Amino acid sequence: MERFSEYRIMWVLVFFDLPTETKKEKKAYIDFRKRLQCDGFTMFQFSIYMRHCASHENADVHIKRVKSFLPEKGQVGILCITDKQFGNMELFIGKKETKASSPGQQLELF
């Protein structure tokens, strides 16, 4: 079952801090978020989006795609981690620990 190893399955996280002071900057911010969502990313926190990928090769495709629509201004970080690393994340709401929500099953056509 190498294909579904928790070390083979990847998560791509996109962190961003974009300016929103002018109409043009707000539009760039909205467009960036929409393009992330259209590529299958879901919001983890306000400026952090994540995407589940079946393999490192698949993650590379989505990372390349995000790089293709980076906004002109602001800061964007892209981090790729294994499913095992993602599973080790500790999440809290206030002081109460919570479990990370699993992504819905994603259908990939080859």
* Complete DSSP assignment for 62-98: HHHHHHHT--SSSEEEEEEEEHHHHHT--EEETTEEE
pLDDT at 13: 98
In terms of pLDDT, which residue wins out, 110 or 78? 78
Could you identify the residue written with the tokens 């479990």?
99
pLDDT at 59: 97
Q: Give the integer Cα–Cα distance in Å for 76 and 18.
A: 8
Please, which pLDDT band fits residue 6 given cuts at 50, 70 and 90? Answer: confident
pLDDT at 110: 43
Contact partners, residue 48, CB within 8 Å, separation at least 6: 13, 14, 15, 16
Instruction: Please provide the CATH number assigned to the domain covering 2-98.
Output: 3.30.70.240
User: What's this model's pTM, rounded to 2 decimal places?
Assistant: 0.84
Please, which pLDDT band fits residue 1 given cuts at 50, 70 and 90? Answer: very low
Whether 2 has a pLDDT exceeding 60, the answer reads no
